[in-house]
A = this chain, B = another copy of it.
Amino acid sequence: MAYKDEKLVEEKVFKDPVHRYIHVHDKVIWDVIGTREFQRLRRIKQLGTTYLVFHGAEHSRFQHSLGVYEIVRRIIDDGFSGRPEWNDDERLVTLCAALLHDLGHGPFSHAFEKVFNLDHEHFTQRILLGDTEVNAVLRRVGSDFPQKVADVIGKTYPDKLVVSLISSQIDADRMDYLQRDAYYTGVSYGHFDMERILRVMRPTEEQAVIKYSGMHAVEDYIMSRYQMYWQVYFHPVSRSAEVILIKILHRAKYLHENGYVFSHEPVHFRSFFDRTFELEDYIALDESILLTYFQVWMKEEDTIVADLCYRFINRKLFQCAEFDPATEYRKIGELEQLFREAGLDPEYYLLADSSSDLPYDFYRPGEENERIPIYLQMPTGELSELSRSSDIVDAISGKRRTDHKIYFPEDVLLEGKEQNPLYERILHMLKN
């Protein structure tokens, strides 16, 4: 039997708190899960620094990846299979893409990518196509199979329906992470009737669409997403940890570039500082390694890197204040000046950060990052863009909401304000 068709003698199940069980019957899927590149996702948290505010959010990208796979498997096996619009030859590539869509995520992904100017999707491609265990498994299916999986994830795969299951405004990725992140944080948002959505999802040539009768379940999903963004993903405490993390990496890079001699040499980072890293250097990274460095760097002589590491490891985070960049850019300038005068480097101790989300977007062809809208399949069979039928979705559709904050070490200012009148003045400015 061809490898691609091999089944496990007995179906394997993973107990999963969100989907109850994750079912694996295909030998290929089982083998992919066993690769070191996939197992590495166990050492990368799904929500980065969020566990510092929602202590339950310690779950990894490993389980999210399994979850996305399971949702796609159900869509295909329980819903699409047998319908004329669905081509079952696409099943395996779709399942692999679902499982592997986050393969290239690095440790504390957003921060790491930002500092080193990297892109996790790029690394997903490289791991799929490079000399890796996962590539070896996929190649056994066919020599062009790794590329096909990469194309689905990269959204260049010709079968748009397949792509839409992994990357669209109502894809398996989002459906898993909303529920999973809600489960682990313990918030009451993030719940929607996924079983109903799966029941009303229909294949079309261009993308998966939703039967009209399921509109309310989709509304609920959109609202869940909206709530999760503002209640969890953009929580100011988690952003505070993230700005500190970014500044640790910045500082270490700066020190390295300026010839600083670390007592604990940043072996794992050197190639990133110098931009000479190989794929293997990237795969070798995970969050345990970053946390190990941060702990040893707490004892570095450089007080900035030592302080920031102490803050991150021991959760002595920065406080934040609201600010409006449109009207308060001058104030920032003044504050930077005051920080400098007070002996606090604003580069590391006065940090602006913005979060922004578009809960749902209709189609704006030609625009950058155009997002495929969700279509309802009307009783007549024709497709209608969601926001035309739903008042609620229409109301929030295309409306970007942005939140600007400025982070700073309130603890230092409060402790020192008796001695240092500048601290008092800074505090006053930040609070008003």
Q: Is the CB of B392 within 8 A of A315?
A: no
Q: Which of B189, B216, B288 contacts A220 (CB 8 A)?
A: B189
Copies of this protein in the complex: 4
How many residues of chain A get a CB closer than 8 Å to chain B's CBs?
65
Is there an interface contact between B55 and A66, defined as CB atoms closer than 8 Å?
yes
Query: Complex Cα distance A284/B392, Å?
Result: 44
Task: Using A288-B287, A392-B396 as known contacts, say yes or no to A216 and B191 having CB atoms under 8 A apart.
Answer: no
A395 to B401 alpha-carbon distance, docked (Å): 14
Q: Which listed residue, B59, B186, B230, B396, touches A15 by the CB 8 Å rule?
A: B186
Query: Does A109 make an interface contact (CB < 8 A)?
Result: no
Q: Could you say which of B59, B223, B288, B291 contacts A223, with CB atoms under 8 Å apart?
A: B223
What are the residues of chain B within 8 A of A51 when measuring CB–CB? 42
Question: CB distance A195 to B21 under 8 Å?
Answer: yes
Q: Are the C-beta atoms of B59 and A56 separated by less than 8 Å?
A: yes
Closest CB in chain B relative to A343 CB, distance in Å: 25
Neighbour of A188 across the interface among B43, B220, B286, CB < 8 A: B220
- Is the CB–CB distance between B56 and A58 below 8 Å? no
Decide if the interface of chain A is mainly helix, strand, loop or mixed.
Answer: helix
Contact A185 B288 (CB under 8 A): no
A145 within 8 A of B: no
The 8 Å CB contact of A219, one of B188, B227, B291, is: B227
Which residues from B are CB-within-8-Å of A60?
Answer: 55, 58
0/1 string, A17-37, CB within 8 A of B gives 1: 110110000000000001110
Interface status of A370 (Cβ within 8 A of chain B): no
CB within 8 A of A227: which of B42, B216, B284, B394?
Answer: B216
Q: Which of B20, B21, B186, B226 contacts A16 (CB 8 A)?
A: B186
In the docked arrangement, what's the CA distance between A298 and B205, Å? 48
State whether the Cβ of A193 lies closer than 8 Å to any Cβ in chain B: yes
B56 A315 Cβ-Cβ under 8 A: no
The answer to whether A199 has its CB under 8 Å from any CB of chain B is yes
A188–B184 Cα gap in the complex (Å)?
Answer: 17
- Other-chain contact of A191, B185, B188, B314 (Cβ < 8 Å): B188
- Supposing A188-B193, A391-B399 touch, asked if A183 and B291 sit within 8 A by C-beta, the answer is no
Q: A36-B314, A395-B396 are in contact. List 15 more A-B contacts (CB 8 A).
A: A15-B185, A15-B186, A16-B186, A17-B183, A34-B316, A42-B58, A55-B62, A55-B66, A56-B59, A58-B59, A187-B193, A216-B231, A286-B295, A288-B289, A392-B392
Residues of A within 8 A of B (CB): 13-18, 20-21, 34-36, 39, 42-43, 51, 54-56, 58-60, 62-63, 66, 183-189, 191-193, 195-196, 199, 216-217, 219-220, 223, 226-227, 230-231, 284, 286-289, 291-292, 295, 313-316, 391-392, 394-396, 399, 401
14 contacts between A and B (CB under 8 A): A15-B185, A17-B186, A43-B291, A56-B59, A58-B60, A188-B191, A188-B193, A188-B196, A188-B220, A223-B392, A286-B295, A288-B288, A392-B396, A395-B396
